[in-house]
Structure 1
Amino acid sequence: MFIKPTKLEHARVELLKSIKLKKNVIEVPLQKATERISYKQINSKLNLPSTTNSAVDGYGIASATYFANPKTEFSVIGVAKAGHPFKKKILSSQAIEIYTGAIMPLGVDAIVMHEKCERIDNKVKIKEDIKKNQNMRPVGENLKKGEVVVNKGKVLNSADIGQLAASGNSKVNVYEKVRVSVISTGDELVSANSKNRLEGQIYDSNKPMLLSLLNQNYLNLLDMGIVKDNRSKLAAKYAEALSKSDVVISSGGASDGIEDHTQNALKDVGAKCLVWQLAMKPGKPMAVGNLKNKLIFCLPGNPVAAFVCTKLLIKPLLIKMSGGIDLEPLEIKLRSGFEHTKRVGRAEYLRAKIVNDGKDTIIKLHGRKGAGVISSLTGADGIVEIPMECKSVNIGDLLTFFPFDHRGL
């Protein structure tokens, strides 16, 4: 256990060492494989394309004839379309009308686009200089036989699905989903659908937010409800969640206050505390426990802190537990468009927007500050990191920016 607040990257490295990977494998149809994690490396069983074909709509000719006499009028003797090959050989004075994806007929070694040709009846003349092999897709241009289609541990995306289908795969072996239980804690919390909200009570935002944030196809999420600020009830809920899942995530009760029961509840279920407090803002009051290779993440109750810790620490670990290799959040180096001061000894993660000031792309802070101000997340493009040993940020300083998923294509 870390006695004092630990660096985020140190916590990530140490927790990765404690993770037991999923080993069970299942076969799923390709149309259900998006965001699943590949169990093994898959190699192409064929060349793509398997034959040389046309990259454009136009006319196929023998380039040597054109080079000998650019004014040659070629006789058009047929049409080749994708799925409908022209099976005769094209002679030196002949041309074939050909469309994108069509197999290249024998005798053709150049394709000229329609708009670069002049056709009168069954004769066609070339109106521009050409090169041998132009506008032709060679065998294996997309994939060569034996080439890797996806690596073991790849989180499959839409492009992977397309490539797997093109290489003849209708099913794929993937890791079994990691089961994750999500719990909110606090006497003041009620569900958003509650009709009897009392004075002093607030709607629970953390659990719905975390369930949405972790809505990945390689995870199986369980909503374990809201637990009151009570040590025995929290320990009982942890025990129930551990019996149903591989990972438990709770929010609230991770500080050192009288009503913060996380430490004792972890002890009560027999979990070993691996991390207690992170050297970051927001997110300092966070704990991680381990019981029989199952992790319990105890997030702060403040929504922004819970969001940031989940993005930067929990999600990469869940990918690893699920068998994945894409662990690190995407980082972009951008110049600061703001000034900021902080104390040395902890990193800060501020909500920010990417702005073009007419000259450069820069980062500007977004929304009101504060770990409980969830509105600072809505409309933000991502999180900007202010390093631990940094005292101040000046305009123009180079900073690390973590974009949110929804800002990608």
Structure 2
Amino acid sequence: MIAFDDATALVSGLARPLARERVGLDQADGRVLAAPVLAQRSSPAVAVSAMDGYAVREADLSHGPIRLPVMGAAYAGRGFEHPLAPGACVRIFTGAPAPAGTDRVVMQESVRDEGEVAFFPQAPCGGRHVRAAGCDFRAGDELLAAGLRLTPQRLIAAAAADLSELEVVARPRVMILSTGDELHEPGHGPGDGASIPESVSFGLAALVRAWGGEVIGRRRLGDDLPALQAAAGAALEAADLVVVTGGASVGQRDYAKAMFAPFGLDCVFAKVAIKPGKPVWLGRAEGKLVVGLPGNPTAALVTARLLLAPLIAGLGGQDPDRALAWRRAPLAETLEACGDRETFLRARSVAAGVAPLSDQDSSSQKALALADLLIRRRPGDSAAATGDQVEVLDF
């Protein structure tokens, strides 16, 4: 059994980005860039108007009031084809290319439209309302660095670079195997009370997707070793990472490790000195990673948040440490002293800080639904009073 910090260090060491692939912009949301995004063109490519108004030469308005003939109009995507003649103006709209010779756009609210003539009652002042070519960025500029996760804001920048595809890190493909004769598919129980709905895989699948992974399948399996071994082989062939829940202890039907034995399972660690979730384990088989989580729902989700989330983040090109961004927050209630095992308490955010849930049982599911934080308690931590600062992690 190893310490939690040692386990996370081993996870970070294995959480290396997978292969690169190219995807279209409409498939790139949430992906991590494997290469920088370089602008293929300047933005704007030519000087454009920042306002609806009239394109003019500054010198022509130095002695207002004045009337200037309107030579034509310029629209976004369809500019005025000729240079701006001295002593004239062009009706122009936001985003339209500014005619050659333009050095100012006068807002339409400051001009009186007199048909073929525009009346300027006074010399303009303030901003010129012309966006110079390349004022946003120039061709060849790096708009986004490799390693960034694509957000809505960053996708706009990538599209503005005039790229239709981006080079990204492949999403880790994850197979989730839930084991136990006692499990049934939600909504399809036998009604005899002997079985329970399989709930863990749905939460795990959501966590995998939230941290950048792709769930390629969920399977519910009974405690039959040959069938489990067949499922393990198929999962290793299809996935980059296999997550198995249940069967992690030492009971007669705890087959989570045995099901991977024919595929050369090499355990990185077999237990972690934490509560809940001590039986969590990590290994490699057939060149693929395997994570074993407890069968109890709360223990499974807590250990997944602590160890599976950074693993998926790193495989997908993110910094695995981003998944363990601990911060400090004040306690809204008192806490008892911690025992000899590192403990992660489920808690919720409240106005006064963070409140630990009253039900900390590792199989609780109603209480789990209330938790949005984990409180970290180090081995031997003394009792904490209301207002004391504690380490917390978004859950």
TM > 0.5:
yes
CA 1:379–1:141: 2 relative to 1, 3 Å: farther
C-alpha distance in 1 between matches for 2:48 and 2:383: 59
User: 1:236 Cα deviation (Å)?
Assistant: 4.5
CA distance in 1, matches of 2:124, 2:360: 63
Mapped pair 1:119 → 2:109: no
Q: What SS does the aligned partner of 1:162 have?
A: helix
Structure 1 equivalent of residue 376 of structure 2: 386
Distance 1:309 1:119 in 2: 69
Pairs within 5 Å for 1:34-45: 34-45=29-40
Is 1:59 matched with 2:62? no
CA 1:53–1:318 in 2, change beyond 3 Å: closer, same or farther?
same
Q: Which residue identity does 2:26 align to in structure 1?
A: Q
Which residue, out of 5, 10, 14, partners 1:14? 10
Cα distance per residue 1:192-227 (max 9 Å; x no partner): 142524322110001122223323696443335222
Give me the whole-angstrom Cα distance separating, in 2, the residues matched to 1:217 and 1:311.
10
Cα–Cα, structure 1 residues 327 and 31, in superposed 2: closer, same or farther, change >3 Å? farther
CA contact (8 A) 2:201 2:218 kept: no
Deviation per CA, 1:276-303, whole angstroms, max 9, x where unpaired? 3334443333111122431111112222
1:384–1:399: 8 Å Cα contact kept in structure 2? Answer: no
What does the per-residue CA deviation read over 1:48-91, in whole Å, with 9 as the maximum and x for residues that have no partner?
Answer: 2211222232333444555x446555554432211111233335
Displacement over 6 Å in runs of 4+: 126-129
| Distance across 2 between alignment mates of 1:83 and 1:197 | 66
What is the TM-score of this pair, normalised by structure 2? 0.82
Note the alpha carbon deviations across 1:238-285, whole angstroms, 9 max, x for none.
Answer: 333223322110112223455434355455643122123334443333
How many percent of aligned residue pairs carry the same amino acid? 24
Separation (CA, whole Å) in 2 of partners of 1:204 and 1:39:
37
Measure the CA separation in 1 of the matches of 2:320 and 2:47: 35
Match of 2:297 in 1: 303
**Among candidates 45, 52, 57, match of residue 50 of structure 1:** 45
Q: Which residue of 2 aligns with 1:285?
A: 279
Report the CA distance shift for 1:61/1:309 in structure 2 as closer, same or farther (over 3 A).
farther
What does 1:1-400 align with in structure 2 at a 5 Å threshold? 3-4=1-2, 6-7=3-4, 9-19=5-15, 21-23=17-19, 25-63=20-58, 68-69=62-63, 71-72=65-66, 75-90=69-84, 93-115=87-109, 117-121=110-114, 122-125=117-120, 130-132=125-127, 134-215=128-209, 219-229=213-223, 233-257=227-251, 259-265=253-259, 267=261, 269-325=263-319, 328-329=322-323, 331=325, 333=327, 335-336=329-330, 338-341=332-335, 342-343=337-338, 345-353=341-349, 355=351, 362-365=353-356, 368-378=359-369, 380=371, 382-388=372-378, 390-398=381-389
- What is the letter of the counterpart of residue 114 of structure 1? Q
Q: Distance in 1 between matches of 2:122 and 2:391?
A: 53
Runs of at least 5 residues in structure 2 that lack an aligned partner in the other structure? none
Alignment RMSD, CA only? 3.5
SS in 2 for 1:181: strand
- Work out the CA distance in 1 between the residues paired with 2:56 and 2:132: 16
Q: Is the 8 A contact 1:58 1:98 kept in 2?
A: yes
Q: Distance in 2 between matches of 1:299 and 1:351?
A: 21
Distance 1:70 1:369 in 2: 78
Shift of the 340–200 alpha-carbon distance from structure 1 to 2, 3 Å rule, reads farther
Amino acid at match of 1:119: R
Find the residue that maps to 1:289 and give its secondary structure. Answer: strand
Mean Cα deviation higher: 287-296 or 142-151: 142-151
TM-score (norm 1): 0.80
User: Would the aligned equivalents of 2:37 and 2:161 in 1 still touch at CA under 8 Å?
Assistant: no
| CA deviations over 1:291-344 (Å, ceiling 9, x no partner) | 243111111222223223323321331232234457612748564251241406
SS at match of 1:214: helix
- Aligned equivalents of 1:100, 1:174: Cα separation in 2: 35
Q: Which whole-Å CA distance do the structure 2 matches of 1:401 and 1:73 have between them?
A: 68
Deviation of residue 180 (structure 1)? 1.7
Distance 1:218 1:383, change over 3 A: closer
Equivalenced residue count is: 390
Three-state SS of the structure 2 residue aligned to 1:329 is helix
In structure 2, the CA distance between the partners of 1:230 and 1:127, relative to structure 1 (3 Å rule), is farther
